[in-house]
Chain A
Amino acid sequence: MATTPPDLDKPSTQLGTTRSASGVRLGDRIFRGSSMGAGIFVLVVMAAIGTFLLIRAIPSLTSNESNVLTTQNFDPDNNDWGIAALAYGTLVSSIIALILAVPVAIGIALFISHYAPRRLAVILAYVVDLLAAVPSVIFGLWGLRFLSEHILPIERWINDWFGWIPVFGGSVNSASSLFTAGVVLAIMILPIIAAVCREVFLQVPRAHEEAALALGATRWEMIRTAVLPFGRPGIISATMLGLGRALGETIAIALILSPSYAINASVLEIGGSTFAANIALRFGEIAETGRSALIASGLVLFLITLLVNMGARAVIARRKEFSGASA
């Protein structure tokens, strides 16, 4: 590591005297070490969370007398519990949220990036960023106090017209449904998806937009030809961010749903629960086996999130050479 001070009297024939023995500058080594350390740290944290969840989950899993994957009921004190209803409620409310939020978010992002006059775009972008930072408990309270009243007629209307589809069937007499939960989640994740999509759409090289316009594309055709395909990986990443937030949302869901442990094909009927809301609502009251069961359900949520993200990565990687990353 020792460096020889350059001898100013004699012309130095030895180049690179500031290099260490291994031929890599000290600054580069520090930087490489610290960035690699950060990368490893993330992996260690992930593994630690997984291990913790697994170890704490084992007691309840071994004492459970029902099939943990297919049982809908959640009664760990009597060793009769499973995650089927929770997984169903979590996935259904999140999917409803994505179906409602993603198209609107893309629309907002496109309006800000390509349609709105500059001054309006700046204000809108600022408002969207602000909304993305609103704590979820606010959304939950709003969903409970305001939305629940006003969404019931809409749910009745959907039930009247589309009740023949099982998803919208059943009898609607309360807004404490998975549909309402999905709507609140949609509003919650809308700003973050819109904000990320906007950034992505602004990254589209001007040259590609001009190429489309010069072919005689209208503005919408230009967006379809140049902007959306280029932004596709970004749209998927933004959706995953939103989905992550929706899957793990606790307070808003806990406030809205009237928990019940049953898989109900209708998203408009009262009931249903999610992993996160169930953990929050029951952690205080349940005994030791129960806590272990709740942690087991947390482990399942952890795995679902991992799988969804890996799936999204795979979708993005599948068309990597067409991503425009090299252009």
Chain B
Amino acid sequence: MAKRIDVSGLNVYYGSFRAVEDVNMTIEPRSVTAFIGPSGCGKSTFLRTLNRMHEVIPGARVEGKVTIDGEDLYGQNVDPVAVRRTVGMVFQRPNPFPTMSIYDNVAAGLRLNGVKKKSQLDGIVETSLKGANLWNEVKDRLDRPGAGLSGGQQQRLCIARAIAVEPEVLLMDEPCSALDPISTLAIEDQIAALKEQYTIVIVTHNMQQAARVSDTTAFFNIAGSGKPGKLIEMAPTPKMFSTPSEKATEDYISGRFG
């Protein structure tokens, strides 16, 4: 299920502005890769190119190559809709559909995929909520609005919604930045469990979080405002946080800037 992602020579543009410059990286299956770096360094923008969500923003385009298990993400006949069914995403702010119940939120992606049978939906909703460690808290009120949950529960509901369609890769864009420390811990535990099945890429501003949850860390930086963001260094997390090869990485991690 989990897949390897290869990125080579990737540039991201907003109109004529180059936001991300020449990224090359390999993301291993069944691992957690963390993107760290200062605000505006293009890590979220780059993350969105991994499931073509950047195309939602008018004027955004990429040059370069992204392959998932050898399949070109930007190939001529590749439908971005199909890509997003393979590469799921969890956003910075919890965004359950406010008009839907807890159950319907989790089932939303399945219904889009044409799953209609109640028994099948019931099973997947339960598995997904268990997978997001939310089942015990909500099993008695699946018909209540998803927006009525706490922030941390909402984010876990969004994770359940994302994994319900069984993606190959799960992208998380600062999933804990709007949550309190206890909810954050719950999500981090979740990430550790989910990597058994999925390739996970997480953007975070919290370096302790990157150190705790990820196997590999990538550091992005920006030379100055108006300049494109670049991948400075990517290495196994323990090495990144003890003996980074780049001076800039060390400065950032030790809190000397950014």
* A contacts, CB < 8 Å to B: 118, 205, 207-218, 221, 225-226, 229-230, 232, 319, 321-327
Residues of A within 8 A of B148 (CB): 321, 326
Measured CB to CB, the closest approach of chain A to B50, in angstroms, equals 11
B98 touches A214 (CB 8 A): no
Residues of B within 8 A of A213 (CB): 53, 56, 84
A selection of 11 A-B contacts at a CB cut-off of 8 Å is A118-B58, A208-B98, A210-B91, A211-B161, A213-B56, A214-B84, A216-B82, A217-B112, A321-B144, A323-B98, A326-B148
Measured CB to CB, the closest approach of chain A to B9, in angstroms, equals 25
A215 touches B88 (CB 8 A): yes
Residues of B within 8 A of A319 (CB): 99
Enumerate the 5 nearest inter-chain pairs by beta-carbon distance, A residue then B residue, closest first: A324-B98, A216-B85, A229-B99, A215-B109, A207-B95
Measured CB to CB, the closest approach of chain B to A110, in angstroms, equals 17
Residues of B within 8 A of A321 (CB): 144-145, 148
B108 touches A212 (CB 8 A): yes
**Candidates A210, A221, A324; contact of B112 at CB < 8 Å:** A221
**Candidates A216, A225, A232, A326; contact of B147 at CB < 8 Å:** A326
Q: Mark B81-99, 1 if CB is under 8 A from A, else 0.
A: 1111100110101011111
- For chain B, residues 120 to 151, give those with C-beta under 8 angstroms from any C-beta of chain A: 144-145, 147-148
**Candidates A210, A218, A226; contact of B56 at CB < 8 Å:** A210
Are A215 and B161 CB-contacts (below 8 A) given A207-B93, A210-B53, A321-B145?
yes
**Candidates B53, B89, B96, B100; contact of A229 at CB < 8 Å:** B100
Measured CB to CB, the closest approach of chain B to A172, in angstroms, equals 44
B49 in the interface (beta carbon within 8 A):
no
Q: Closest residue to A206 on the B side, CB-wise?
A: B56
B67 in the interface (beta carbon within 8 A):
no
What CA separation (Å) do A216 and B109 show in the bound complex?
Answer: 7
What CA separation (Å) do A326 and B51 show in the bound complex?
Answer: 30
B97 touches A225 (CB 8 A): yes
Q: Closest residue to B95 on the A side, CB-wise?
A: A207
Residues of B within 8 A of A214 (CB): 51, 53, 84, 88-89, 91, 162
B98 touches A216 (CB 8 A): no
Residues of A within 8 A of B144 (CB): 321
Are A324 and B158 CB-contacts (below 8 A) given A208-B98, A215-B85?
no
B101 in the interface (beta carbon within 8 A):
yes
What CA separation (Å) do A20 and B84 show in the bound complex?
Answer: 60
A215 touches B108 (CB 8 A): yes
Residues of B within 8 A of A323 (CB): 98-99
What CA separation (Å) do A21 and B28 show in the bound complex?
Answer: 70
B147 touches A327 (CB 8 A): yes
Measured CB to CB, the closest approach of chain B to A130, in angstroms, equals 27
What CA separation (Å) do A211 and B84 show in the bound complex?
Answer: 11
What CA separation (Å) do A178 and B145 show in the bound complex?
Answer: 43
B60 in the interface (beta carbon within 8 A):
no
Measured CB to CB, the closest approach of chain B to A75, in angstroms, equals 52
Q: Closest residue to A205 on the B side, CB-wise?
A: B95
Measured CB to CB, the closest approach of chain A to B201, in angstroms, equals 13
B165 in the interface (beta carbon within 8 A):
yes
A322 touches B91 (CB 8 A): no
- For chain B, residues 46 to 105, give those with C-beta under 8 angstroms from any C-beta of chain A: 51, 53, 56, 58, 81-85, 88-89, 91, 93, 95-101
Are A226 and B113 CB-contacts (below 8 A) given A214-B53, A214-B162, A217-B81?
no
Q: Closest residue to B83 on the A side, CB-wise?
A: A216
Measured CB to CB, the closest approach of chain A to B88, in angstroms, equals 7
